Amino acid sequence: MDLIVVQPVGKLKNIGQVVKVKKGYARNFLLPRGYALVATANNKQKFEEIKVELALKQEKESTLAASKIANLEGKVLTFLEQALEDGKLFGSVRSKTIAAALEKEYDIKLRSDQVELSEAITKIGVYKVKVSLAHGLVADVLVNVARNDIEASSQLTAYHAEQAAPATVEKSPESSQETPKE
């Protein structure tokens, strides 16, 4: 099905581009949410009329997203969760949980699909999570998962110390020796 992209979403980032997508994706997601229009002659003409409005709106959203990214970069979210002795959580921290915490703590509204988390966090530790906003802007947020405040602060201190330490590569004596050729 041919569509005209009206708002950037997913891999469809260029407004005004005519794209070919599967019918189900168009009917169930893009068209009902207003992200695209069916590419008919009438809609192409209609789109040309509102193209200037959309460009201004996109520019405004871009500057707003840039300021949000600047505010988000390097922020730390701490989740206090119950866990076993080995550090495995009884539950998990998911992208939806992270998005809700960002909204609560920093007043930044995100959808869970804007939090790039390959799988749910199921162990205690500090994780670097990418948060993507409109126009391809991405910020790194630290997610600190711990049992209590003391553990959370010690984990964060250790993480920052590890990041600040220069990477050193040690050669083992075995790897420096050449093996004889037969």
Is residue 174 in a domain?
A: no
Q: Are residues 77 and 140 in the same domain?
A: yes
Q: State residue 176's pLDDT score.
A: 46
pTM (global) more than 0.75 = no
Query: Considering all CA atoms of the chain, what is the largest pairwise distance in Å, rounded to the nearest integer?
Result: 76
Q: Are residues 81 and 30 in the same domain?
A: no
Q: Tell me the pLDDT tens digit for each residue of 82-141.
A: 999 999 999 999 999 999 998 898 888 888 888 998 899 999 999 999 988 766 788 889
Average pLDDT over the chain reads 84
Is residue 181 in a domain?
A: no
Q: Are residues 159 and 100 in the same domain?
A: yes
Q: Tell me the pLDDT tens digit for each residue of 130-172.
A: 988 766 788 889 999 999 999 999 999 999 888 887 655 555 4
Is residue 54 in a domain?
A: no
Q: Are residues 19 and 104 in the same domain?
A: no
Q: Are residues 87 and 152 in the same domain?
A: yes
Domain with residue 4: its CATH number is 3.40.5.10
Token look-up 């992208």 returns: 95
Is residue 112 in a domain?
A: yes
CA separation (Å) from 50 to 29, 43, 53, 63? 22, 11, 5, 20
Q: Are residues 78 and 158 in the same domain?
A: yes
Is residue 171 in a domain?
A: no
Q: How many domains does the chain have?
A: 2
| Cα dihedral 13, 15, 114, 111 in deg (nearest 10) | -160
Tokens representing 70 are: 């600047």
Is residue 145 in a domain?
A: yes
Is residue 180 in a domain?
A: no
Q: State residue 134's pLDDT score.
A: 67
Least confident of 32-46, 52-66, 148-162: 52-66
What single string gives the DSSP state of each residue in 22-84?
Answer: -HHHIIIIITTTTSEEE--HHHHHHHHHHHHHHHHHHHHHHHHHHHHHHHHTT-EEEEE--B-
Q: Are residues 78 and 13 in the same domain?
A: no
Domain with residue 146: its CATH number is 3.10.430.100
What is the extent of the structural domain holding 146?
71-164
Tokens representing 42 are: 């009438």
Tokens representing 35 are: 């992200």
